[in-house]
Structure formats: C-alpha cells, structure tokens
Structure 1
C-alpha cells in the first residue's frame, strides 16, 4: 500500500510521453481516475484516498513541489513539522519554504519565509527541512496556539520521554533552549513563541492532550501534572493523562481511535477494552478518592465547552 513517501507522482511531461493529450487528461480527471496534486503533478485518485491524516497530505504536497522546483526547496514551519513526523492539527493548504529576500514571488499555495542566515538544513526522506529545533520555534511564532503546542510537545517527547513514564528533564531543557535560541534570531512574535516553548512538555502523548492543557489553563486551572502514576493491582501501575491537583481530580483525553487502537494492541474486542478501562477508572477513583473526568475532541472546541464537560463531573476551576 503506498504511503505519502512512496505514492507515485506523475508529471505532465510523463503523460505527454505516453501520448496523453489535454483531452485524455481531462477525461481521466473527470472520471475520477486521476487527481491533481499541484499544477503539472498528478497521482492516481485511488492512491490518494488512502492518505487520511493531515500530515500525510502535507508531505505529499511537499514532494510535488520539490518535484517541479528548479532548485531543491528547504521546507520550514508546519510543512517541515509534517515531514519530520510531528503532528499537525491544522492545515491551511499552503506549503512553507525558506527563501532569500531577493527572490521573486511564489505560487499562491506557497509561503516564503525569510532565511535567518543560518544555512543549516536536514534531509528527511529525501526532502530538505529546517533543523527540528528551528521548525518548532517557527511554528511557535507563526501558528495558532493549539497547533504550536502540539508540535512542541511532540518534539520534546521525541527527545526526552521514555515509555511508560520516564522523562529526561535535562534533555528536554536542552532542546527547549535550542528552540529558544532560534526564536531569539527572529523579530516577529518572539514573546508568543517563548510562552509556547516554556509551556511545552514531552509527557503529552497526543495532540489532544496538548490542546486539553491549553483549555485547562484558559479555564483557570493550575498547570496539571502529566502522565501521573497510580498504584494498580498486583504491583502494576496505571498512568493518568492529567492530575488536576489544585482541585483534587483526574482527567483523561480519549481520542476517537483510542479504544480501537487499544483493542488491536491487546488482541481484544472493543467491548473488552471498554470494560477494562471502566474497571481501571473505578480502581483509580476508589483508591485515590478523586473525581475522574474524560473528554474528547468535541469537548475541546474552546475552553467554555470543556468547562461544561468538567462541570458535569463536579469539577470546577478554583478561580
């Protein structure tokens, strides 16, 4: 099955070599056999439907741009984040690249960013990107808070987290400082980036946990503890997403695919996994005497929505 890295891209010149004129190309497009990735670059429509994540779609568009560019582009910002395997909770449909200030304008779907006179770049799966720390810094400066914190958390997790719960604070601090150094080279949105980078924590496992943390802070909760261990039966350990220590409660983010993924990993049915999670939750509530709330993406539209969800479990912010 093709991935965003192996899916065949077809240039218009290749179709010309096959004798496909404009009418044939149009017929194939209208019939749904062929799809445009960008001007002059096509792919089989049946292959494209297999790419479901935002990150996959961004990477494919980046490959298409690199295919038709006169010189190999260096991707930055959210485009580089997708290429480097970081989560992208938003996609504005544009590609972000570095450029010298004297370069002419770009296509409508390409955003050119000024190079900071640091010519370092890394190659990831055949595409050039800004170094990971700069990618995180650029996203923190230029993108929405939820997208920026999700990227920063994931990068720190890569450097500092060791499952099931070990966190290398020194490694996290080194990476954060590297990103802050890149931020200091810029002039725009520096304070915004610094706030995101100081808030970032690699113990967050999913973008939903990153966004949850923002919503909790917006509601007035203190910064929650992350991946909190609780003693489980038979000497095991349960790990909880959020410890709302200022109000004596627990919280967990349940993504849409959580129970399906847990079932596949354990070789169990979804019902068995849900029952196991219920027993886990009952044990945690009973042994800690704390309230326990769960929420999903629908509850994270804004802070007020999450607040209503928490109130249903008797959990209120302290202020």
Structure 2
C-alpha cells in the first residue's frame, strides 16, 4: 500500500491547476497554445500535466490523474468506484481507453463533465482509500466492474484481487482460494439479479493467483477459449543451482511460453540497472538454457498478440502450434483445482454481436467466395439498411413491416429491404 500511496502522490504532484499556471505567468491564451503544440496536456477542465509526464504514465496512471483532479475539485470527498477505484488500488485495467471518472452518488445520478455517477448502496465493509482518496474496496470493485467491463478485463482484475487475498508463488493454499471464491459467490447472490452476475461467476471460477500480470491472465483466457491446456509458472532448474519460472507450459505440445510486456525491456525498475540490450541478451541466454535443458522450445508473445482470441490464434499458428479444431470447450484444469470451473466465453460485446448475427443475419447463410454479397472468404456481407424478410425494421422500429426483395437484387438474395418511406435504399 505504501508503494500505491507514493505513486498517487507522484501523479498528484505533477498536476497543475490553471490558476497555478496563471500565477506562474502563463496566460489562458498561452496555455491554449501549449496544449495545441503538445507541450501541455489537458487532464480535466482546469487541470493540466506536462506532456513528458503524460507520455511516461501508463493508462492507469493517466486515469488516476483525472481521478485526483476530480477529487480536488469536489466540495465533499467523493467515493470513487469501478475503473476509477481499480486504478487507485493498483489493479490492472486491460485495454483501458478514455474512461470517465466513476463515483458513487446516492443524491444525484446525473453524469457530466467527465464524471459518471452511479446510484448504488455501498456497505461500510466495502469502503477503502488510498493516500486520502476514498474508493470502494478490492472485492467490491471487482463486483461493480462485472456490470460494465468485458470478460478479458474482468479476468485480469480477478487474478489480481485473488493474488492479493491469498498471496502469490508456489505455496498457495487451495483452501484459501476456495474460501475467496465462496465469498465472491455469496456477494453475487446478495446482489440479486445484477447485470454481469453470470459472467462474474465464471470469472471467479477461472481466476488464478499464479498469473503475475494481466497479460498472463488474458493469455490464459485465450488458451481456454482455444481449448489448449496450460500450466502456469513451470519451474526449470538453472545452471547455478537456482531455477527459472516460465510463465506457461502448453501441456502435451512440448512448448513453453512467456508473456512479455514492453516494460520488461523499457521500465527502469524491471531492468535493474541493465540496458535494454543487456536485458535482451540475458533473456536470449535464458531461452537457450531452458530449450537445451528441457528439450522444449520457447515462444514469446506480447500485448499486441493478446488483443483478441483471433489474433492470439494467428500468433500460435505462426509458431506452428496445432490448434484444436472442435468447438470451444470448457477451460482446462491443471490438476491443482485452481482452474476448475466452466470456461469463459467471448467477451460481452462480441457475444452481443454474435447473438445479433445469429438471430437476424446468420439465418441467411454464407455465400461462396466471389459471389455477389460475399467477401473473399465466402462470408455474407450485409448491405446498408438491408434486413431479412419479415423482421422488424432496424431504422423505423415499427414492428413487423412489409418487406420485398429489391428489383435490382438477385432473386436468390437473402436480404429484403424495408419499403417504409424514408428507409428505402438499394442493394449495390
């Protein structure tokens, strides 16, 4: 916690209020010019940071800067929640983009000025704080994020919360892990029919404290979706009598894998006084020793490869790793019981897209490659404002409306166009 407080104080010290800049002789016009030139970054209305500091911050640090600015502007100390609480508590936020500041407010649920307010009741046991900034606790933050976050982000946060609760390393007590899962399931039951409860239960069963980073957690999720059984933190004896801990072993494939973030070769704290070239050479020697001593080849991947399951699968194919051809099955277990439970499916956004595609467009079937209305892979493309026959119109929302095959379309076309005035269009 001391490290978190020091990080938040450092970020807060880099923030500059507009009034402070004016006292230093920077007028409003000069301030606007500095923002246009990229020398100054507007964090929030009336708050700024130097561009050098902003570029050095991780996305979570930038969100913390916005949270601190909102905290200093508030008349009464707000209670931060969701992504804002996660950033304050040091939890990893996968693919964090421009997210508004989240606060709990039982008096006013209106949102605005970069703040999203949530009308939720928070019991006293779920209150926490860092460096004088109030926020929801770890388990409550995970519960709240299940309402709005996708599956990959939730897995990374659940791994971190579980790791904090039971510890890390090889001496993890399975009873403590099960007690944490039981407590989280009770929280889900107490929340009733909250949005995201089913997803959260899957993630609770899937969480593993041995995942050292959010990249490892998301990679685990991709492996489970692809039906590849893995074990975490494979120990390999070292030449000096010690040991190496390899992130992943792909069971039955003779492959070991490392999930490497860019910070491994750029963060001064992780470099330990070495240059990036020295760190890369040291990593290469480590790979050679592991490959020679175990007879298993090493593969590496990073954040870009884990952005989606499809990209992750393409990376594995490039390494000539065979992928199961069946449907996505249950998450594999490693024998310890830590990964027992149903597999996590696609994230919520892609699941919604899939349901729409299955209910409205997939019934039309896919055409052969090169046919009209199909792409180069034979997947049916949907013209603008085109709908299958006898379905509600997506534009006018008037229920079942008369549909007719457009005269310019082939008679075998699966699409029909709503003939309601104002919705008419043609299939190219």
Q: Which range, TM-score by smaller chain?
A: 0.7 to 0.9
- Does residue 229 of structure 1 match 2:235? yes
Deviation at 1:132, TM superposition (A): 1.0
Match of 1:201 among 204, 208, 229: 208
Q: State whether structure 2 residue 302 is matched by structure 1 residue 299.
A: no
Query: Post-superposition shift, 1:94?
Result: 0.8
Aligned residue runs from structure 1 range 112-123, under 5 A: 112-119=117-124, 120-123=126-129
1:192 to 199, 210, 227: 199
Question: For residue 177 of structure 1, what is the aligned residue in structure 2?
Answer: 182
Residue of structure 1 in register with 2:27 after alignment: 24
Cα displacement (A) at 1:58: 1.0
2: CA distance between counterparts of 1:38 and 1:262?
A: 29
Residues 136 and 179 in structure 1, CA contact (< 8 A), matched pair in contact too: no
Give deviations 1:164-201, integer Å, cap 9, x for gaps: x4434333333333333333333211001111122111
The CA deviation string for residues 87-127 of structure 1, in whole angstroms up to 9 with x for no partner, is 12213321111122x52412152222232352441121111
For 1:70 and 1:26, locate their aligned partners in 2 and report how far apart those are by CA, in whole Å. Answer: 28
Greater relative contact order structure (CA < 8 Å, 6+ sep): 1
Higher helix share: 1
The residue aligned with 2:155 is: 149
The change in CA–CA distance for 1:44 and 1:57 in structure 2 (over 3 A counts) is closer
Query: What TM-score, normalized by structure 1, do the two folds share?
Result: 0.85
Counterpart in the other structure of 1:83? 88
Deviation at 1:276, TM superposition (A): 3.0
The answer to whether residue 80 in structure 2 is matched with residue 66 in structure 1 is no
Query: Which is higher, the Rg of structure 1 or of structure 2?
Result: 2
The aligned residue for residue 253 of structure 1 is 259
Q: Which residue of 2 aligns with 1:7?
A: 14
CA contact (8 A) 2:264 2:271 kept: no
Superposed CA deviations along residues 49-105 of structure 1, whole A, max 9, x for unmatched, are: 3652111111111111122223221111111000001112213321111122x5241
For 1:43, the equivalent position in structure 2 comes to 48
2:291 aligned residue? 285
Shift of 1:15: 7.2
Q: 1:253 to 1:105 in 2, by over 3 A?
A: same
Q: SS at 2:147's partner residue?
A: helix
Note the C-alpha offset of 1:47. 6.7
1:270 aligns with 2:282: no
Normalised to the residue count of structure 2, the TM-score between the two structures is 0.65
How far the C-alpha of 1:255 sits from its partner, in A, is: 1.1
Report the RMSD for the aligned CA atoms in angstroms.
2.9
For structure 2, the residue ranges without an aligned partner over 5 or more in a row are: 1-6, 326-428
